[in-house]
Chain A
Amino acid sequence: MSEFTVGKRQRRLLWGISVPMALIALTCVYPVFFALNNALKSNREYILDRFGIVSEPTFQNFVQAWTRSNLSEYFFNSVVVTVLSVLALIIVSSLAGFALAVLRFPLRKLIFVVILASLMIPVQVVLVPFYKTIIGLGLLNTRAGLILSYTAFFLPFSVYLMTSFYSGLPRELVEAARIDGAKLTQVWWHVMLPMGMPALITLGILNTLYCWNDILISLLVLQDNRTLMVGIAALRGEYTTNVPLLTAGIVLAAAPIVILYLVFQRKIVSGIAVGAVKG
């Protein structure tokens, strides 16, 4: 990665720098380690030894969090909502990107600007009327309502990415498909989707992150049938004194993303880098 052939003195300097950098890395990892560590302690052990490493690990807290505190339900909700939302985002943004980048129709520029401009309208700015809209459409407390909301709020960047990606593709590919007699829906399915893979993967990763981690929108829309993060926030209130139970819940909630990150870390980081350069 270095573009210099570093001299000896500079090399020693870089080694010296790596000490504080390692310390920072430690702080990045410690909190999660802390959570895991304490999740494995029984409440008794925690009270007796709050700061040490667990000596008698137990999975009890995980079981309890999963069953007694409804976390399994919340987990399921989050999975369903996240998966379906990401799917919806991929489909809607690649369709819109295809139309905006390649097809010719009136008001094309205006529609693109409108979708992009809505980036300026985060949930907080329309909190009240958004809430009323959800109620008015009968979508309160429905998973469908949350999926639609996520799609609406994470669309603009996705559409921007797909539009700019598709406009970089050679137009002759679409022309050849037209000459071959493919209907436009067939062109989308057989050509635009497969060719859009790199951008769609980046989108998939980012949107999974956003949907899984979201709290504000899900707090508004799904009130009884909660998602995981809302559940964890509530857990905090209910179990402020039972730290091991709380951290067990936290670990469970963080686990999917953390595992995904550990496995796909390289791809995730490079995917985001691609998105950053395009932006």
Chain B
Amino acid sequence: MSNISITDLRKSYGQVEVIHGVSLDIEPGEFVVFVGPSGCGKSTLLRMIAGLEDITDGDLEIGGTLMNDVEPAQRGIAMVFQSYALYPHMTVADNMSFGLRMAHAPKDEIDRKVKDAARILQLEPLLDRKPAALSGGQRQRVAIGRAIVRDPDVFLFDEPLSNLDAELRVEMRVQIAKLHRTLSNTMIYVTHDQTEAMTLADRIVVLRAGHIEQVGTPIELYEDPDNAFVAGFIGSPRMNFLNARANGPKSVEVAGRTIPLPNLTADLRDGTALQLGIRPEHLDATDGVRLMMDVDVAEDLGATTFVHGTVGGETLVAERRAHVGNAVRELEICFAPDKVRLFDPDGARVR
């Protein structure tokens, strides 16, 4: 179990810089998730930690030791790939023991470690099979097993569940969460799926275009986003953003209505253009600001309904824990002002 310390890490391909000075500290035993849209650099960052990509500038320390130029095999890490990367011509047992065999470890040690890992992941009946004879979920477990056998300080996961179908993904997510509880290793997990991030992480690192947008626990990111990007990325369905204008030190005007925001720390300048963020699930309050919404489409999922419509020309989505018939043309939405998140036109949070 090790801590990881990244200081001002940069990565360039030729003249093009893709990771711009990322700094981060990861505690031992922490489960950290790198999340962000495609191309944000989360995989690149992970691979730099693994040693599969060169570090152009900055420092990477694992367990207090500088690791910039150390071979991947020497960093005390193990990696689970998106495509599992299992050797097709070897059995499951051979796949898992590959590293130990290459290091000429004693046979009984190899057998013991493979058996232990197989037990944790319920792979015992599959040890003699080849990858082609396994299902996607089984292959993923073998990939994880191979990582466990290495007995690493840090586990790295590169979008491991992306190739599985939705149902299997939920099941595997639970398995990985349980694995963390059992092994207690430091784990870094990359995904583009914010649900995986929210459910698995101790802390989430939100990345965009090679920058860290925010680091925090899932709740911190949900409740207290630093900017509109994080607010919009975390939480499903996406937070609603409405155009607003300040009309008082602690109030804004949206769609013709004035909304008081007593919890604001700063004072607003009159007339400033702003964005008002409110999550769809918060539009179902019993007390608070009331607005009428013109309904376009109601998506009834059984237990929940997503109502798409407009308020004063602005599109928004409201969530209801009830059926809303398709004939409904207008819906009253109600929200508490303290659930509002305010952002300036550049996306920065106004607290």
A75 to chain B, nearest CB (A): 35
Kindly identify, within residues 174 to 195 of chain A, every residue whose CB is under 8 Å from any CB belonging to chain B. Answer: 175-183, 186, 190-191, 194-195
Stretch at the interface among B95-103, B206-214, B289-297: B95-103
A173 touches B87 (CB 8 A): yes
A172 at the interface (CB under 8 A from B): yes
Contact A181 B102, CB 8 Å, known A172-B85, A191-B87: yes
A186 touches B102 (CB 8 A): yes
A170 touches B89 (CB 8 A): no
Chain A residues with CB below 8 A from B78, complex form: 179
Per-residue interface assignment for chain B, residues 72 to 113, with 1 indicating a CB less than 8 Å from any chain A CB and 0 otherwise? 111001110111010111000000001100110000000000
Contact A173 B98, CB 8 Å, known A179-B78, A181-B73: no
- Closest residue of chain B to A195, judged by CB? B89
A176 touches B85 (CB 8 A): yes
| Cα–Cα, bound, A166→B78 (Å) | 24
Residues of A in contact (CB 8 Å), total 18
Residue in A173, A178, A179, A191 with the greatest tally of chain B CB atoms within 10 Å: A179
**From B82, B89, B103, contact of A194 by CB (8 A):** B89
Chain A residues with CB below 8 A from B117, complex form: none
- Closest residue of chain B to A183, judged by CB? B102
Contact A179 B87, CB 8 Å, known A172-B81, A190-B98, A190-B102: no
B72 touches A179 (CB 8 A): yes
A178 touches B52 (CB 8 A): yes
Residues of B in contact (CB 8 Å), total 23
Chain B residues with CB below 8 A from A173, complex form: 85, 87
A177 touches B98 (CB 8 A): yes
B121 to chain A, nearest CB (A): 17
- Closest residue of chain A to B77, judged by CB? A179
**From A170, A182, A183, contact of B98 by CB (8 A):** A182
A180 touches B150 (CB 8 A): yes
Chain A residues with CB below 8 A from B118, complex form: none
B85 touches A182 (CB 8 A): no
Chain A residues with CB below 8 A from B150, complex form: 179-180
| Cα–Cα, bound, A186→B87 (Å) | 14
A179 to chain B, nearest CB (A): 5
Chain A residues with CB below 8 A from B50, complex form: 179
Chain A residues with CB below 8 A from B88, complex form: 195
Chain B residues with CB below 8 A from A183, complex form: 102
Chain B residues with CB below 8 A from A172, complex form: 81-83, 85
Residue in B50, B71, B83, B102 with the greatest tally of chain A CB atoms within 10 Å: B102
- Closest residue of chain A to B149, judged by CB? A180
B220 to chain A, nearest CB (A): 32
- Closest residue of chain B to A194, judged by CB? B89
A180 touches B98 (CB 8 A): yes
Which 4 residue pairs are nearest across A and B when measured between Cβ atoms? A180-B99, A181-B73, A172-B85, A176-B85
New A-B pairs, 17, CB < 8 Å, besides A182-B98, A191-B87: A170-B83, A173-B87, A176-B81, A178-B52, A179-B52, A179-B78, A179-B150, A180-B102, A181-B74, A181-B103, A182-B99, A182-B102, A183-B102, A194-B87, A194-B89, A195-B88, A195-B89
